[in-house]
Each structure stands twice: as C-alpha cells, then as structure tokens.
Chain A
Amino acid sequence: MLGKALRETQEDPVEKANIGFDLLEALSELWGYRDAREENWGDLLNVLQCVLKRESFEQLSAVKCECIERSLSEWLSSRYLQKEDIERALDCLVSAGFDPWVGISTGEEAAK
C-alpha cells in the first residue's frame, strides 16, 4: 500500500517524503521478522533498506517509485523468494537508477 501511495503522490514532495519515512519504518519492522523467512527475503530487505536510506524521497522519480512498489508487492510480499526473483528485483532496481551495492561502496566522505 505504501508503495502504491508513493507512486501516486508525484506532485507533492512533502507528502512523498512523509510516505517515504513511513516506508522506512515499515521496512525496519519487517526486518524484525527476517528469521521467520528464507535467506533471500532477508537479503533483499537488507539491500532495499540501505538503498532507500540513501534516497531523498522528495525527489524520487516516477520510475523509482514504480520500482519500489514492485519490490514491495511482487517480491517482499511473495511467499517464497527464489534466486530468479532476486535477479529480477536486482534488474528492476538497477534499471530504475537505484544502486543496490551502495551498502558496500565507498562513501562520499572517503572518496574526497
């Protein structure tokens, strides 16, 4: 639902950011259930959290919002995540312009 709301709120950056904060909180709650799910699910959630924490939700493009919606409805909500699902999720993130490797990349501070 949050993914859909994010996608439908293209005009108002403040509302978009607030939905983004709700989304981060929801993902953080989901993280608490990782042990009840398969490794792939927890791994994808971990990556999504890192990716989204580095985003400015006010400026999130329509393509990125669609990708977030897909990630939530298609993959994080699925009953069992297979290797192929993770590959599709990765492709979706990359083609939307997200950086799935942000969590292990050089930070801007270290790069200077």
Chain B
Amino acid sequence: MRGTAVFVDTSIQIARFVHSREKKRRIEERLAKYDIVLTSSVVRQEFKRRLLKEAQYLLNTLKQKGSFEETHRHVTEMLSGPFHRRKQQICLLTISTILEGATDAELTERARRYLRFLLRFGLHTFDRSVDHHLLGADCHWANYPVRERKLERFDFGRERCSQSEGRCGVVSFLRENRDFASKVMDALRSMRDDGKTAEVATGERFLEEALADPECAPRLDPCLHVGDLMIALESAKIPDFYTMNRAESIVYCQALGQTLVIRPNNPAAEDEVVRL
C-alpha cells in the first residue's frame, strides 16, 4: 500500500484519543500502511465540537457536584438514552480503574486535571497526529484557538458558519470544488428517497441551494448540519477515506470514487475495505 494517502475523519480522530486500547492499536496499524495521513478543517471543528465540548461539560459537572462518584451517577442518569450513549465519548470511569483504591476527593481532582489537560493540549495532539491538514472549507471556527477564559472555563469558538462574520471559507471552497459537489449531487439525486439517511437528505437539499448560489452557503451552517458532506468534499482528492461511520460515508465515497475503509466498533473486528 506504499505511496498512498489516507484521509481520517472525525470518528477516527476521536477514537485515536478516547476509545479502547485495542481499537487505537488497530487504527494505528492501519494508518502505518500509508505514507501520508491527512485530515481537514471541518474535522478539526467537529473534534472541538464533539470531544472538547464534552470535556467541558464533564469538567463543569465535576466542579458543580464536587464529587467524582456523584458526577458519574449524574452523567449516567442524564445521558442514559441510546442516542446520548452513542454520542458519549469520554469514559471517566477508567481513571478510577487505573487508580484503584483512590478516594473520591482524589479521583475528583485527577479527573478535573485530566479534562483540563485535554482541553488545553488536545488540539496540539490532534494537529501532530496527522502529516497534513487540508485547508478545505477553511472553517473559521476550526482555526479559532481554545482559550481558558478563567479557571476551567474554556472558549473554543462557536459552531455556526453564519456566526463567523464572513470569515468562513466555504463559499470559495464550493466554487473551487463545484465538480466534486455536482458529482455528489448527481449521485444523491439518483438514490431512492428511502435509501437516504436524514443527514444525506439534508446534504442533498444543501447542495441544491449551494450549487445554485454558493454565497448562501454560510447562512445554511453546513459544518454544523451537513458536516459529513463537507468532510467528504474536503477529502475528494484523497484516494482512501478512513471512518467509523458507514451510513453517510458509503454514499459520498461511492460518488467520489474513493476507497472506503471502515473501522468497526467492535475492537476485535478487522477493518472493512470497500472499493467503490
């Protein structure tokens, strides 16, 4: 597989941080087969929006409850539905397994330190974990630095392109990548409606509007609402696309003629390589 490049999406980048040791090992094994590992600005933005936002939530809860055990109980209770469980990334319980016998006060302090450490240095590791960042849609909020406004209160920018006061690069990105966007649009139009996920259907509506008038794109907040589509377009020139998200990726990779590499959730399972 030498001489090739792979694009890593948000699900893989987050897994490289906080998923199980075995899954991380398998991901690194896969990435080692390529010469260049790339990611993009919308991936960086999603990483902040998903992982760092969750770290801030847990940090706030730890601060409010003042207890590791109570925080764990609270989070388990509040985020108990399958939707929230699936979205939850950080596993606070691990620190209590590693530091067996530690008191609640010690675990509270250590968890707070760990989360703050992730918020302060997570993006540094994120940036170092790939060989190259594609400018792509040049998402303004992706480049916005993470700042600790006061102790344990972080500001990592907003989530909407429409709030970037014209500093979002999505308009020129869509103009430059009109051919790729049209390819995806054609593929989506040829699909049966019942075969489209909600996000793919939203992506189709976004493309219809944005191809007719790229200037309207920031108003539609694409990074927030159709992130998978934006990431697909950013990755279009890279032959292999590595993800844990099959549903949308299979549609976009097929439209763009990429090889899709899927990392299953089960750590024991092998990666699935789908040549489309």
Contact = CB atoms under 8 A, between A and B. Distances in A.
A105 B94 CA distance: 7
Nearest to A108: B20
Nearest to B20: A111
A103 B97 CA distance: 9
Tell me the interface secondary structure of chain A in the complex: helix
B91 A110 contact: yes
Interface residues of A, number: 29
B125 interface: yes
Contacts, number: 91
B97 A104 contact: no
Interface residues of B, number: 32
Interface of B: 17-24, 90-95, 97-99, 110-111, 113-118, 120-121, 124-125, 128-129, 267
19 contacts: A42-B113, A46-B113, A46-B117, A50-B95, A54-B21, A90-B121, A90-B124, A90-B128, A91-B128, A100-B125, A101-B118, A103-B98, A103-B114, A105-B24, A105-B94, A106-B23, A107-B93, A107-B94, A108-B22
Given A94-B128, A106-B19, A108-B20, 11 more contacts: A46-B114, A54-B21, A54-B98, A87-B121, A90-B124, A94-B125, A103-B114, A104-B114, A106-B20, A107-B91, A107-B94
